[in-house]
Amino acid sequence: MSQQLNYKVEGEGHTIILIHGLFGNLDNLGLLARDLRQDHQVISIDLRNHGQSFQSDQHNYQLLAQDVYELLNSLALTSYTLIGHSMGGKVAMKVAELAKQKVEKLIVLDMAPVAYTQSKHDNVFNGLKAVMAQKPTSRKQALEILAEHIELEGVRQFLGKSLYNSGSHLEWRFNVTSLWDNYWQILGWEPIEKIETPTLFIKGGESDYLTADHQADLQKQFANAKAHVIANTGHWLHAEKPAEVLRAIRKYIA
């Protein structure tokens, strides 16, 4: 299978790269893409082990960033802005380190450049594995299985977008086994060498992924960083408050 990432190109103008988070795919930042493609070229990417991209038993930020870097080089892009959410934010930070000369601006949605020490997805993995074990034949059935493990309907609906019919039953597009086996790599982080790239961290006001405690780590790795808080929103800020997130993005890249 080809080792190039699956991607989608829309619009024309200065290039913006959109990188989704864990369990996502290239449609996840679609609300942002639909707006930004009006006056930019927007490239949305499926990371390895997600969407229509290749599957691998290895999943760490060095490799994830290398995948993206190689794709962008193959597209002969000379400059671009990177936007990443959650795990995709960490990938974007690593790409910015690899492609210092080409990244005009970096925007990170609700993620800090740190290793997290607490598992945040046990219930999600339990739900995903239950679906794999029970092999549902309809979406309704799959979502009912998820509901036994995952309280938030929004999270179940989000995960449900990655179900597809394998012929006999529904399966996940993302590689649950690899993501589970590499989960501590996904939570983890190897600090990058300090970069000068102008960087905006957009935080969900009610999220604990990016807090005041992370400020020292930010400053060590990003010489030119600003933060913007979207009030009354959690980790899924771009889905909860797309207009506010877009306003912050547009103001920053204007």
What residue segments make up the domains of the chain, in order of their start? 7-114+189-253, 122-181
Q: pLDDT tens digit string along 232-249?
A: 999 999 999 999 999 999
On whether the CB atoms of residues 63 and 37 are closer than 8 A, the answer is no
80-98 CB burial, b ≥16 within 10 A, e <16: bbbbbbbbbbbbbbbbbbb
Instruction: Measure the N-to-C terminal CA separation of the chain; round to a whole number of Å.
Output: 40
Residue 232 tokens, joined: 């009354």
On whether the CB atoms of residues 124 and 235 are closer than 8 A, the answer is no
The helix (run of H) or strand (run of E) holding residue 155 is helix 153-160
Instruction: With CA atoms as reference, report the closest residue to 108 among 3, 231, 243, 224.
Output: 224
Q: Is the pLDDT of residue 2 over 80?
A: no
Max CA-CA distance within the chain? 53
The helix (run of H) or strand (run of E) holding residue 142 is helix 139-147
On whether the CB atoms of residues 21 and 28 are closer than 8 A, the answer is yes
- For 123, counting Cβ atoms within 10 Å of its Cβ (0-12 exposed, 13-18 middle, 19+ buried), the class is middle
Beta strand extents in the chain (DSSP E only): 7-10, 15-19, 41-45, 80-85, 103-109, 163-165, 170-172, 199-204, 225-230
Question: 20, 50, 59, 235: which one is catalytic?
Answer: 235
Q: Is the pLDDT of residue 66 over 50?
A: yes
User: Chain-centre distance of CA 237, in angstroms?
Assistant: 12
* Mean pLDDT for the stretch of residues 36-50: 98
Taken as a whole, the chain contains a residue count of: 254
Q: Is the pLDDT of residue 1 over 50?
A: no
Question: 86, 121, 162, 207: which one is catalytic?
Answer: 86
Q: In the CATH scheme, what architecture does the domain 7-114+189-253 have? A: 3-Layer(aba) Sandwich (3.40)
On whether the CB atoms of residues 96 and 82 are closer than 8 A, the answer is yes
Q: Answer yes or no: 149 catalytic.
A: no
Q: Answer yes or no: 50 catalytic.
A: no
Residue 178 tokens, joined: 């690899």
Query: What percentage of the chain has pLDDT greater than the value 70?
Result: 99
Q: What pTM was computed for the model?
A: 0.96
User: Whole-number mean pLDDT of the chain?
Assistant: 96
Report how far residue 71's alpha carbon sits from residue 75's, in angstroms, rounded to the nearest whole number.
6
CB neighbourhood size of 231 (10 A): 10
Q: pLDDT tens digit string along 93-147?
A: 999 999 999 999 999 999 999 999 999 899 999 999 999 999 999 999 999 999 9
